[in-house]
A and B are shown apart, each in its own frame.
Chain A
């Protein structure tokens, strides 16, 4: 993917930040039809302050001026916004490519046919198990069937190269070959990313994150198959397991330096895994627009300064992993200057075993009470509860 002319260190340059992000994540809504246990944005209910269609278009205009090539649109479930397709069309007409993540709920045969004729839209179907059993335990009953239905519709419509986007957990990391087979069946590409302890993920991370042995197996699999799988370059904490450069991609934390997140109300965070006041840089409506927040927010300026390696300074692998993921450290209550909770040298496990205070989440859009999908699995108490007739 990269070429190699006269490079002192591209990573060092990126760590000092760019005038515009390489790409950014834009969560369009906190509304979601699902309630995945590891949701990064604790989505469920729409936030009444969510940006209007016109405000979203204003952001797209700004991204076009900044030459941000594409946005990763997510949520929540972005397809639930009534103006979703209008915004997708507006972005692509303004030279901002769209990759959107969906659980598949709106990917009907008609929508799939529309998507198939656009060169500028990429679709990522989220799936967290190669079987319904493994997937639905995390994403909820019926979510596997819904995702597969979307993949079938896309494939039947001739949409080329959809992505199957998988968050790696203790229960699906052994299914990598099955995921590969599944992707091949739909002419899709497999994309795997790291489980973060962010949002509701903070509550399930301890039991869901891959074991140390699984991390090694995952690393070996990535080195062997890395050319054919996308990772969002999210596994850089594993790069200390082998020779520098063995793991494909940009192995660095891009938060506030080359990536960021815009949330549904226009708040700008350092990265999609850091929706917390600690990593809030500003707001596109109240702080002079996205360009100004990106260039001048004190948080982003701070992130573009050289970062302290802290407890990792004496580790010989620091140049490979660079201390790992800031958000993973923060949400597990570890110091930012120190090892990643999944440090492959074992320093993370040791740090986790000591006393730590996990931060309280600063936003939660989860639907309270029972999720409707679960309610229907219980028999009604009285027949008239089910049907008023």
Chain B
């Protein structure tokens, strides 16, 4: 149903998604799908926060301090969020 997550393009939070920072990362709630997701680290939250300001997901990872060779898990997590419509293409 969803195309595979493309880290070379730009992404942003769905406008109906609210973010609540937590010590472990953040809670994300989508008011449209009424689904809750967990962002499980502060670094991942920084990646999500940076998404909207960068032209592609890899640049957002770099901006959050995640080096290119360590981005795998973060991009997979972004893919999970995109699959549940928490993230949408810019």
A10 at the interface (CB under 8 A from B): yes
> Given the complex of chains A and B, what is the CA–CA distance between A1 and B37 in angstroms?
6
Interface size on B, residues (CB 8 A): 27
Residue A67 is within 8 A (CB to CB) of chain B in the complex: yes
Residue numbers in B under 8 Å from A20 (CB-CB): 20
Whether B24 and A70, one on each chain, are in contact in the complex, defined by CB atoms closer than 8 angstroms, is no
Contact between chains at A4 and B24 (CB < 8 Å) = no
B55 in the interface, Cβ–Cβ < 8 Å? no
* Cα–Cα, bound, A9→B10 (Å): 31
CA distance in complex: A172, B45 (Å):
43
Minimum CB–CB distance for B2 against chain A, Å: 14
Contact status of A3 and B40, CB under 8 A, knowing A10-B24, A13-B23, A13-B24: yes
Q: How many residues of A contact B (CB 8 A)?
A: 23
A159 → chain B, closest Cβ, in Å? 13
What is the CA–CA distance of A97 and B18 in the complex, to the nearest angstrom? 11
Known contacts A10-B24, A69-B18; A97/B29 CB under 8 A: yes
Dominant secondary structure of chain B at its interface with chain A: mixed
Contact between B36 and A3, CB atoms less than 8 A apart: no
Tell me the dominant secondary structure on chain A's binding face.
loop
- A167 contacts partner chain B, Cβ-Cβ < 8 Å: no
Q: For the A-B complex with A5-B40, A22-B27 known, give 14 more contacts whose Cβ atoms are closer than 8 Å.
A: A3-B76, A3-B77, A4-B40, A5-B73, A6-B40, A6-B43, A6-B44, A7-B40, A7-B41, A67-B20, A69-B29, A97-B29, A99-B34, A120-B31
Chain B interface residues toward A at CB < 8 A: 16, 18, 20, 22-24, 27, 29, 31-32, 34-41, 43-44, 73-74, 76-77, 80-81, 84
Q: Give A contacts to B, CB under 8 Å.
A: 1-7, 10, 13, 18-20, 22-23, 67, 69-70, 95, 97, 99, 119-120, 122
